[in-house]
Amino acid sequence: MVSIVSAGQLAATGTFEIVSPTPQSIYVAGQMLPVIYVVNSDIVANKALELSIFLNPAEPKLNISTMLITAKADVGASARVSKAPNGVFAFEHAVNFNIPKDAPAGIYNVVFVDSVMQVNTTVPVAIKAAASPSSLTSSMGSSGTPATATNHINNQANPAQPSSFLASSASHSSISVIFTALFAALTTLHCTDNVQ
């Protein structure tokens, strides 16, 4: 398979490309883990891929079982189609997985199981503990607004949306920076309005 995603990870079998998650991405328990993958038209036409996806704890200390993201991932033709410069068509698919709120913090593997080729492709990710209600309350000012203008946006915690095949992860980072700056400006403006 010829790579058509600028920042994707090619599966060990070469039959699909993983756009999200990226290795060492950080997610938060209780939030969304977007899984996005691309299958080229040759693989779709030949029905050469059967895919299931799991989230496995990578550390023995994590007291949690393997979690099923999807038993039978969609690997057919989809409405999100793109054509690479070499003329190969590809279909993008997205699955949103809700990370359990009680998932312990640690390292996990998103495992893509190719049942046809009998090969797994693993993407390591980190999951942070969900914020406790008491920590959220202590970070709020008396007016109910954040006490600081700091905002930690994890663009991968957003629900999976089919992306532009030619978009790079740099553009996603730029969007995060823009939203962070916008949030800080709005928070500052709101705090200034409350002072006057």
Q: Which domains occur in the chain, in start order?
A: 9-195 (2.60.40.1930)
pLDDT, tens digit (0-9, with 9 covering 90-100), for 13-66: 888 999 999 999 999 999 999 999 999 888 888 888 999 999 999 998 998 999
pLDDT at 122: 97
pTM for this model (two decimals): 0.66
**Beta bridge partner(s), residue 36:** 20, 94
Neighbours of 36 (CB within 10 A): 22
Cα torsion at 174, 55, 67, 90 (round to 10°)? 70
Tens of pLDDT, residue by residue over 97-125, are 999 999 999 999 999 999 999 999 999 99
Do the Cβ atoms of 21 and 33 come closer than 8 Å?
yes
H/E segment holding residue 42: helix 41-46
Q: What is the pLDDT of residue 154?
A: 37
- The tens digit of pLDDT for each residue in 126-161 reads 999 987 766 555 555 544 444 433 333 333 344 555
CA–CA gap between residue 134 and residue 49 (Å, rounded): 46
